[in-house]
Amino acid sequence: MLQLGNTLANPVWHALGTVQQHLNAGSQQLRFFAPDVAPFAGMENWDAAALHHFEINIPTQRRMYLMQETPVIIPPSLQVHFTVPLYQMICVEFQPAFQEHALEPLTEVHIPQMLELTALTKPGPFVAQTIQFGGYVGVFDGDQLIAMGGERLKVPGYTEVSAICTHPEYRGRQLARHILSHVSQQIIHRGEVPFLHSLTTNEPALKVYQQLGYRLNRNIFFAIVEKQTT
């Protein structure tokens, strides 16, 4: 396990305090994205005082995604919808894939198709303005978007690859591999290091990540919580 990049141990908190601070819809203590951008929230630490602040100040009836190295003891006042361990992987020995598919930049005109594809394939949270993270490219069959991917969290020196997905009818053509390679390469060309998050049980995806030069960086705690109305 590499454990590179201290900011990557708490990526949401650091992203919203640095490169993506313009997207912070919360405060300096409790940082989160607007609901039409992403559901992630972060705090610098999770001691008793911080947890109390989190309980009081997160929006009611909005699911908040927590993603960091240190596990959070969720207070009973919050509903836990889902929790799962993730691997954080970082690209340290990039091995590009041969680009045999034409990739097109995705813009706001493609948002309806992007929402449709991500709703079908569930690569992670993707909502109406997630495209603001930038770097999205796609593969089309005629006018139909059949595969896509792009960028998400950004901290100084590192950018996350995210939303890599392929329509079920087009799997087996290495579309996701080529998109991951392209997005990773565009990050590297900016002088940054790509990283990503994956379910620990997604062995086919983990194999592809390793083939492209990604290595395990750290274990990540992930949870979806919600404050109910009183």
On the 0-12 / 13-18 / 19+ scale of CB atoms within 10 A, 36 is: exposed
Measured CA to CA, the distance from residue 93 to residue 77 in angstroms comes to 44
pLDDT at position 230: 64
pLDDT 10s digits, 9-23: 999 999 999 999 999
Measured CA to CA, the distance from residue 25 to residue 16 in angstroms comes to 9
On the 0-12 / 13-18 / 19+ scale of CB atoms within 10 A, 57 is: middle
Residues 39 and 124 in one domain: no
Mean of per-residue pLDDT scores for the chain:
95
In-domain check, residue 154: yes
pLDDT 10s digits, 142-201: 999 999 999 999 999 999 999 999 999 999 999 999 999 999 999 999 999 999 999 999
192-193-197 Cα angle (round to 5): 135
Give the predicted TM-score (pTM) of the model. Answer: 0.95
Residue 67 has pLDDT above 90, yes or no: yes
Residues 77 and 93 in one domain: no
- Find all residues with CB under 8 Å of 216, minimum gap 6, and list them: 1, 2, 87, 88, 89
Amino acid at the residue 198: S
Domain span at residue 201 reads: 89-216
DSSP letter for each residue of 148-186: EEEEEEEETTEEEEEEEEE-GGGTTS-HHHHHHHHHHHH
Residues 77 and 152 in one domain: no
Residues 127 and 71 in one domain: no
pLDDT at position 79: 94
Residues 106 and 170 in one domain: yes
Residue 140 has pLDDT above 90, yes or no: yes
pLDDT 10s digits, 104-137: 999 999 999 999 999 999 999 999 999 999 999 9
**Number of structural domains, the chain?**
2
SS3 219: strand
What CATH number is associated with residue 36? 3.40.630.30
